[in-house]
Amino acid sequence: MPQTERMFLRMDPGDRELIGILRERWGMGDEAKTIRAAIRRAAEQERVGGDGAARGTRGASPAVRERVELAPGARAGTVDEARGTRLAVPNRLGVDLLEAARVGKLDAVAGRAREMERLLSLLVRLTRNSVVLVGEPGTGKTALVEGLAVRMAKGEVPEVLRDRGLMMVDGAELALVARYGEAPAALARVEEVVKRGRDGAILVLNGMGALVDSWEDGPAALGGSAALARLRLALVRGEAQVIGEMTGDRYRRWAETDGLSGRFEALAVTPAGREETLAVLHTLKGDLERHHDVAIGEDALTAVAALAADRNLTLPRGAVDVLDEAAARAHIRGLAHLTPEMVSETVAARTAK
């Protein structure tokens, strides 16, 4: 089940008062997918100042009004927005990664020199220059793309890429809004990028598997979205350039069933080794020290990288999670320094069966 769908399931379709409000506004029934779509539409209209259900709940109980107005996606936005990045595409569907890099919201990728070199070599090819990053969650696919954005913002890329944009779009949300027809402005923005072809932005599809699922389900799954149909056609013709992200299993199924996969070159992003993970931890050390008001020494960083690898955590994300949580524990306990013992305690807690 896509992550976006899981978020919507936090809403209980059995809430009669909430369903009554949605019925009144849109004349809809109890079907769960329709309710989820209405919740997102209400949140969107409230955010942009429309007259949707979020504004139409003023007579409802505070609990219901809060659930409509603060439904998933109503105000929180994407992770990148939470970090301070202003989104470049209407309705929060896209992130301008170059702008985020220019204002210091993204970090250069650490320890992925070979992957970065191959990514650049694939992007500057004349043919088959769309790429799908294949790797399990936590291996650093998105971090590699963010590192690319930093290099593009600094001009440290081949000439052919220096005037290009880099826009990240959540494939799951793109498929969802296409299915329910909720964000035509956002889809129009994606279509605009596609129309520019190789002179426009490179489109980064985070969670590309969900979009591929929609394409495989046929036109009905896209809600008749002409924009996404044209995106697929542009990819087939080699007129659009995309960096997608998929897990290994999903990519293998796609490669076996969809000829479009032949337009992409696969770049494997495997779990980082200890040294690469340690390099990643060094890039995050300062931010974590400031956030938790705890000093993090080399001994603690080394312990995190070693213990995370020994416990078979997915690297580098597993190690980053351990370091963040261990520093939080140290702060809560009033410690000035993060110790290897605190790291060991944190790893044990995270891996306890």
Q: Last residue of some domain: 18, 39, 69?
A: 69
Residues 29, 164 share a domain? no
Q: Last residue of some domain: 250, 268, 286?
A: 268
First to last CA, the chain: 25
| Three-point CA angle 181, 190, 108, nearest 5° | 125
pLDDT in tens, the chain (353 residues): 444 344 344 444 444 444 454 445 444 444 455 555 555 555 455 444 444 333 334 344 343 333 333 333 333 333 333 333 333 333 345 788 999 999 999 988 888 999 999 999 999 999 999 999 999 999 999 999 999 999 999 999 999 999 898 988 888 777 776 666 555 555 666 666 666 666 678 999 888 988 888 777 655 445 446 667 777 888 888 888 999 999 999 999 999 988 899 999 999 999 999 999 999 999 999 999 999 999 999 999 999 999 999 999 999 999 999 999 999 999 999 999 999 999 999 999 999 86
Residues 229, 297 share a domain? no
What CATH number does the domain containing 218 carry? 3.40.50.300
Residues 162, 84 share a domain? yes
Count CB atoms within 10 A of the CB of residue 198: 13
Q: Last residue of some domain: 48, 69, 90?
A: 69
Residues 202, 145 share a domain? yes
Q: Is the Cβ–Cβ distance between 196 and 240 less than 8 Å?
A: no
Q: Is residue 74 part of a domain?
A: no
Q: Domain limits at 63?
A: 3-69
Residues 147, 12 share a domain? no
Strands 166-170 and 94-96: what pairing?
antiparallel
Residues 281, 257 share a domain? no
Residues 227, 87 share a domain? yes
Residues 212, 123 share a domain? yes
Number of domains in the chain: 3
